[in-house]
Amino acid sequence: MQSIADYIQKVNETANSIVNEMKLVSADVLGLDKRAGYRVWVSDEAVVVSKARDKALQYYGGFEYVDKDCRTELGDFVVYFADGGRVSDCIDRWLDTNTETAAEQAED
């Protein structure tokens, strides 16, 4: 039988693997106050922040109003799923920005 510490380590390794596949951005790219997070990960499904920066995202980014069912802690990270209105707005903004940037690069 594995120890709890071993399971926690595996969860952290899995969380790191998932987050490393996401795009790292600053909060202002998501339309949030820069103080909400200098290192925020985003995908079309979720916004992720380190546990250490979660309070700043909640306070400066308005994520304290995200439904608790749309928030989960995974290892050293906090995951906010797109089901939350505030979260989906941020993801939409990021997707729009990426689409505009891709279009501008295609024109060059």
Q: 6-24: per-residue pLDDT in tens?
A: 999 999 999 999 999 999 9
Strand partners, 41: 24, 48
pTM of model > 0.85: yes
What stretch of H or E contains 47?
A: strand 46-50
| pLDDT tens-digit series, residues 39-79 | 899 999 999 999 999 999 999 999 999 999 999 999 999 99
* Token pair recorded at residue 66: 């995200």
